[in-house]
Amino acid sequence: MSPCPGLAPHCVTIALTLDSKQVRVPPHDWRVLSGGQGPRLVAFHGAGASADSMAPLLEALAPRFSVFAPDLPGHNKTRLGAPNRSGLAAMAEDTARMVTETFGVPDVVVGHSAGGAVALQTDDIWPDAKRVLINPALTPFDGAAGWVFPRLARALGCAPFAASAFSQSFSKQSRIRSRLENTGSPVTDEALLRYGRLAANQDHIKG
């Protein structure tokens, strides 16, 4: 292990050894990371991210847990099979079905940001699973933004060139670093490259 670029010496990077594979469970073609041994733990990333965002955490947990993390529908390498399945409830239902069929019922569900909302939506499906939410996105935007932003997103989703325009706008490394640092999170060079690849992926942006 080596020090994280630009961060304090006690911060280390972890060599990633998780398996990555594609699985088909309708309505989507899924990409998942898995590895480790022990009680089953499934992790959901936030909106705009991917399972790779959770990989360092999963690597640290893999000696004690059997870990499993999907790219959520429309994100990264999970191909969206039905556009009308992008809402929170549908996404949670489809993801839970895929996890149960390919991994089994989890003992622990971890969710980051919007992935925390997905994790809570699976409460009726996996009632006995423990849940760990990391900075969960559980409340809507305040005021006018709560009305405008969802409608703007739907309109842009229907615009034929919107994904391309957003991808070109956000794929520059300096802009990605600035936006990530504005969240208060330290950004490693590895994370910067990962988000750069996501921002350049028009299918990911559209999803």
Of 139, 196, 136, the residue nearest 168 (C-alpha) = 196
CB 109 within 8 A of CB 44: yes
Is the pLDDT reported for residue 6 higher than 70?
A: no
State the angle between helix axes of 162-170 and 143-158 in degrees (0 to 180), rounded to the nearest 10. 110
pLDDT of amino acid 11: 39
pLDDT for 156: 56
- Global pTM reads 0.71
Strand pairing partners for 110?
43, 132
Contact assessment for residue 95 and residue 72, using Cβ atoms and an 8 Å cutoff: yes
Digit-coded pLDDT (tens) for 77-110? 999 998 889 889 999 999 999 999 999 999 999 9
Residue 193 Cα distances to 71, 88, 103, 176, 200, angstroms: 17, 28, 29, 9, 11
